[in-house]
Amino acid sequence: MSGVAENGGRGGVRLSLHEWLAAVAVIAAVLLALPQAWRRIDAPADAPNSRVPYRLSGDYWMFERLAARAAAEGAVAVIGDSVIWGHYVSAAETLPAHLGEAAESKAALAEAATTGAPRGAAAASNARPAGAGGAVRFANLGVDGIHPAAMHGLVAYHGRAVAGGRVVLHCNPLWTSSRRHDLTAAKEFAFNHPRLVPQFIPWIPCYRETADGRLAIVVGRYLPWGSWAEHLRVARFGGRDLAGWAVEHPYECPVRQLALELPSADDGPDPPPDARAWTEKGVPAMDADWVPLGESLQWASLRATVDVLRGRGCRVFVLVGPFNEHMLAPASREAYKDMKSAMAAWLRDAGVGCLAPAPLPSSLYADASHPLAEGYRLLAERLGGSEEFQTWLRNE
């Protein structure tokens, strides 16, 4: 019989070269089709102020879906770490949410002035879907813990849909406040999102991973099913692979995990963070050892992210801070002001729109970099009302 051989009295199936190629083609087709089909099953909630749920911060497939939606809707993509995501606030109280509300109100008033509708009708129109009436939309593409070295990888490998549009990029100076934050410390330590950072060039001294592990990460970035498989692991099996999950749940059916409801945009840290002003929590003053920009991996990574986005035809605006300068020791505060000015100068010289606003009132910060709810509202007013930002929005 074709394909069957006798070997020592035992039957074995041997495939010809053509049969092997056919099998590989079938497997590849399945692996290519499944992630596409899964987009309908695990689509992110189509709700105002959507963001990557906190528990899925390592789920870059979900980021890809939100980025694709933002691009399809022509929204301004707002990308950054937990300051953009909104660590201490609900999804409706974040910077992108407040910017969207202001744009909605402005568009509604403009429509009322054009049509002669009463101001009450204009206010009522805010209940319409976001973006209605020509208002600018702002999509929250913040991810908890995304430092600039990881953000570059996130945008480069998982944010390909962000192209040809407008992008607000957040620069959090916290990531240059020490060699450890900057990832230029020599001693090994665990940091957020290691799979997104450069695996070989530039070399990160504090990052320890085997050569095989680094190579697998690099290859996985280009496999169309790689981020989808990681999505299943993070979103469906609690961050474990199927075998590890089965060992911990020997009597449960893994198929049932696929039917679980995904966490919402307001899924936050557990336990919830202490959303009081930093002064009420007794947080001590911070004596930061700022890394010179010429030596900073994080600053170089942010500039590289700008280059990636501009290479895709995006118009980029960078928001620097506002860092909680009230929390800094005097000498550290002066050094920070010099660094902030240097950041803004480099961006402007490179033709990148930017704003490095003054710090918010001290009582509106929860810690060194995160505003509280009222702080986000005030920051949105300052950013949205700045001539630099409005000029950038109008593409002048």
Sorted by where each begins, the domain ranges of the chain are 38-393
Q: Which 3 state secondary structure label does DSSP give 220?
A: helix
∠ at Cα 148 (144, 152), nearest 5°? 100
Instruction: Classify residue 78 as exposed, middle or buried by CB count within 10 Å of its CB (0-12, 13-18, 19+).
Output: buried
Helices (H) and strands (E) in the chain, counts: 15, 7
pLDDT (0 to 100) of residue 225: 72
Q: What is the DSSP string of 125-162?
A: GGGSPTTGGGPPPEEE---TT--HHHHHHHHHHH-TT-
| pLDDT score of 121 more than 60 | no
State the average pLDDT for the chain: 86
* pLDDT of the residue at 265: 83
Given a cut of 60, whether residue 122 has pLDDT beyond it is: no
What integer is the mean pLDDT of 176-197?
A: 97
Q: Does residue 224 have a cis bond before it (omega within 30 degrees)?
A: no
297 or 5, which is more confident = 297
User: Which CATH superfamily does the domain covering 38-393 fall into?
Assistant: SGNH hydrolase (3.40.50.1110)
User: What is the CB neighbour count within 10 angstroms for residue 127?
Assistant: 9
Please answer whether residues 109 and 122 qualify as being in contact, where contact means their C-beta atoms are separated by less than 8 angstroms.
Answer: yes
pLDDT at 36: 63
Could you say which DSSP state residue 234 is in?
I
Query: pLDDT tens, 53-84?
Result: 999 999 999 999 999 999 999 999 999 999 99
Question: Is pLDDT at 128 greater than 90 in this prediction?
Answer: no
CA gap 175, 143 in Å, rounded: 15
CA-to-CA dists, residue 90 to 54, 56, 126, 263, 378, angstroms: 11, 16, 19, 14, 16
Q: Could you give the CA distance from residue 39 to residue 115 in angstroms, rounded to a whole number?
A: 41
Q: pLDDT, tens digit, for every residue of 78-112? A: 999 999 999 999 999 999 999 999 988 777 656 65
What pLDDT does 75 receive?
A: 96
Q: How far apart are CA 34 and CA 223, in angstroms?
A: 13
Q: What confidence score (pLDDT) does residue 260 get?
A: 75
Compute the CA torsion angle 383, 386, 389, 393 (nearest 10 deg).
Answer: 110
- pLDDT of res. 201: 95
Helix (H, G, I), strand (E, B) or coil at 198: coil
3-state helix, strand, coil in the chain (%, to 5): 50, 10, 40
Assess whether the previous peptide bond of 205 is cis (omega < 30° from 0).
no
Give the distance, in angstroms, between the CA of residue 83 and the centroid of all CA atoms in the same chain. Answer: 10
Write the CB contacts of 390 (distance below 8 Å, at least 6 apart in sequence): 384
**DSSP bridge pairs for 337:** none
Q: How confident is the model at residue 243 (pLDDT cuts 50, 70, 90)?
A: confident
The rounded percent of the chain whose pLDDT value lies above 90 is 64
Q: What CA–CA distance (Å, rounded) separates 186 from 265?
A: 37
Q: Which two tokens stand for residue 114?
A: 């054009």
Report the pLDDT value the prediction gives residue 386, as an integer from 0 to 100.
Answer: 95
353 strand-pairing partners: 317
* More confident call, 199 vs 38: 199
The residue whose two tokens read 């679980």 is 260
How far apart CA 160 and CA 23 sit, in angstroms, is 31
Write phi, then psi, for 10 (nearest 5 degrees): -110, 135
Q: What is the mean pLDDT of residues 309-318?
A: 98
Indicate the DSSP class of residue 252. S
Q: What is the mean pLDDT of residues 357-386?
A: 97
Give the tens place of pLDDT for each residue, 247-299: 888 888 887 777 777 888 888 898 999 999 999 998 999 999 999 999 999 99
